[in-house]
Amino acid sequence: MPPRPPMLGRRGWLWFAAAGAGLGLPLLNLLPAGAALHLPDYLVPLFGKYACYALLALSLDLIWGYAGILSLGHGAFFALGGYAMGMYLMRQIGARGVYGNAALPDFMVFLNWPSLPWYWWGFEHFAWGLLMAVLVPGLLAFLFGGLAFRARVSGVYLSIITQALTYALLLAFFRNDMGFGGNNGLTDFKEILGFELQAPATRRALYLASLAALGAGFVLCRFIVASKLGRLLLAVRDAEDRVRFLGYSVAQAKLFVFTVSAALAGLAGALYVPQTGIINPGEFAPANSIEIAIWVAVGGRGTLLGAILGAVLVNFAKTWLTGAVPELWLFVLGGLFVLVTLAFPKGLLGLGGQLWLRRERAPAPLPEERTP
């Protein structure tokens, strides 16, 4: 009788262990302040940011790793989701702002806006803000992708126009007359759903919400790539013209995953803003989108789990290096990308898999000869 297969594969156990460690962090925060394993309050939103970045990297890996669409403007979808949540949080300030005007945010009072713009309507409701955080990036991706994919724009040309898109949004959101706070953006948030943002319990809840969104995003992406559509996307990535000649609609397949990817990036931005306390046009910077691609490349493109791993590890290194030797961070980031490209193009997860296979395929040692 053949041996029973293990309950979880090697990667499954890795994912299970990571999820258990992530869920255990809030418990460490509940320990007394003098305990050896106590997690300080200021570190909880930092790990929440890592979870948001992991969801953002996961969204890019869905289109780059499985459909061959390298978007260098994915930071735009992340920022749009963040602005949608920031608009809700600004509406929750009410009369507690500097100018005490419950009808208008402080920056609108300062700029002498006569009334609230129509595109701010409804953002006093959390459900509307969360819906817009997913719908607006998804709709932009649907319109942008519909034009690009039907025109058969691909490869480096698509990467360039996605970067042009995020740069155009950067310039637009810098303008004071856009109604999004100009250069300063949106900040000074007070509460979310009636709970104070700075309260430790709220920070733990936001971290767990980010972790739950990451888990749900992983399940959704895994479902897509394991389906018939996922196999079609792999074929599009490897031989797009051949798939088109076989009669499949390449544009529709690309458009679907591009829209889903943008919606996931918007959700990541919506969860990111309450934990950082600010959203400004700097999030649209093209360099941010390039950095997202580096996360995915470091972890392992086309693996999903590798994108999460790369986002967490690179941002952990960024947090440490920018505090210790901030002037070296950009050199380390560039060197890391070159190293991944030349030495292990499949990323850390792919490198680990290669080492594992090499060990499994190693010849067994010869039995020792017995002397009579």
Question: What are the C-alpha distances in Å from 270 to residues 82, 104, 236?
Answer: 4, 21, 31
The sign one gets for the Cα dihedral 84, 203, 106, 104 is positive
Query: What is the secondary structure of 306-318 as a DSSP string?
Result: HHHHHHHHHHHHH
> Which of helix, strand or coil describes residue 9?
coil
For residue 7, the model assigns a pLDDT of 40
> Which of helix, strand or coil describes residue 344?
coil
For residue 1, the model assigns a pLDDT of 40
Contact 51, 65 (CB under 8 A): no
Contacts of 135 (CB under 8 A, 6+ apart): 263, 266
How far is the C-alpha of 50 from the C-alpha of 275, rounded, in Å? 11
Query: What length does the chain have?
Result: 372
Max CA separation in the chain (angstroms)? 103
How far is the C-alpha of 218 from the C-alpha of 223, rounded, in Å? 8
For residue 237, the model assigns a pLDDT of 92
Question: What are the C-alpha distances in Å from 310 to residues 122, 198, 297, 305, 315?
Answer: 37, 29, 7, 9, 8
Question: What are the C-alpha distances in Å from 173 to residues 80, 121, 158?
Answer: 10, 18, 23
For residue 5, the model assigns a pLDDT of 40
Cα 351 to chain centroid distance, Å, stands at 23
Among 44, 49, 52, 54, which Cα is nearest to 23's? 44
C-alpha gyration radius of the chain? 23
Task: Looking at 188-343, list the stretches that DSSP marks H as alpha helix, in order from N- to C-terminal side.
Answer: 200-226, 228-238, 240-245, 250-276, 286-299, 305-324, 329-342
Contacts of 65 (CB under 8 A, 6+ apart): 296, 301, 302, 303, 304, 307
How many DSSP H helices and E strands does the chain contain? 14, 4
For residue 141, the model assigns a pLDDT of 97
The sign one gets for the Cα dihedral 282, 288, 289, 292 is negative
pLDDT tens for each residue of the chain, 372 residues long: 444 444 444 555 555 555 555 666 666 777 777 776 777 888 889 999 999 999 999 999 999 999 999 999 999 999 999 999 999 999 999 888 888 888 899 999 988 899 999 999 999 999 999 999 999 999 999 999 999 999 999 889 999 999 999 999 999 999 988 999 999 999 999 999 999 999 999 999 999 999 999 999 999 999 999 999 999 999 999 999 999 998 899 999 999 999 999 999 999 999 999 999 999 999 999 999 999 999 999 998 999 999 999 999 999 999 988 888 888 888 888 888 888 878 777 888 777 555 554 555 555 555 555 554
The C-alpha angle 134, 135, 137, rounded to 5 degrees, equals 75
Contacts of 164 (CB under 8 A, 6+ apart): 73
Among 292, 337, 338, which Cα is nearest to 315's? 292
For residue 329, the model assigns a pLDDT of 84
For residue 339, the model assigns a pLDDT of 83
pTM of the model: 0.89
For residue 19, the model assigns a pLDDT of 56
